Structure 1
Amino acid sequence: MQKLGLVLIIVSFLPWLAIAIILPFLPISVAQKALLVPALLVFAEVLFWLGALLVGKEVVQKYRRYLNFRYLRILFKRWKRKNRKRL
């Protein structure tokens, strides 16, 4: 069940990509695009939360830490220091 949950979480990012990359170039009217954007957003959220329910609280907290800006900043600083030493 955890693998299915992780797959759902990963697939939940595809509608966001579709909105940013594919939707602007579709040969449909602006009104149809305006209706499609919220539908895709709701679909993405539903997929994400279903996946989160399947993987469990511990796994979600672990991956949530990776998306924290403070943690990402620490990783970036470490990467920068590591690259300075190479030069």
Structure 2
Amino acid sequence: MKKLGLVLIVISFLPWLVIAIIVPFLSISVTQKALLVPGLLVIAEIIFWLGILLVGKELAQKYRRYFSFRYFNILFKKFWHKIKKQ
């Protein structure tokens, strides 16, 4: 079940890519695009939260830590120190 949850979490990012890459180039009206984008966002959120439910609390918290501001700050500092050394 945890593998299925992880797959669902990864798949939940596909609608975002569709919105960014495919929707602007579709030959449909602006009204239809305006309806398609929120629909895709809702689908992405539903798939994401289903994946979180299947993965479990512990793994969800670990995943959350990787996307925290503090984690990105640590990565940025490591990257910055590497650049300074060169």
Question: If the length of structure 1 is used for normalisation, what is the TM-score?
Answer: 0.93
TM-superposition CA deviations, 1:3-47 (whole Å, max 9, x none): 100000000001011111110000111111111011100000000
Gaps of 5+ in 2: none
1:42 aligns with 2:42: yes
**1:32 aligned partner:** 32
Distance, in Å, in 2 between the alignment partners of 1:33 and 1:79 is 39
- Indicate the residue corresponding to 2:7 in structure 1: 7
Distance 2:76 2:13 in 1: 23
Amino acid at match of 2:73: R
Q: Distance in 1 between matches of 2:78 and 2:25?
A: 40
Q: Sequence identity, in percent?
A: 71
Partner Cα distance (2:59, 2:73) in 1: 22
CA positional deviation for 1:71: 1.3
> Corresponding residue for 1:68?
68
TM-score normalized by the length of structure 2: 0.94
Give the Å deviation of 1:82.
2.8
1:79 aligns with 2:79: yes
C-alpha displacement of 1:62: 0.2
Are 1:17 and 2:17 counterparts?
yes
Q: Distance in 1 between matches of 2:68 and 2:55?
A: 19
| Paired residues, number | 86
RMSD: 0.9
User: Structure 1: which 5+ residue stretches go unaligned?
Assistant: none
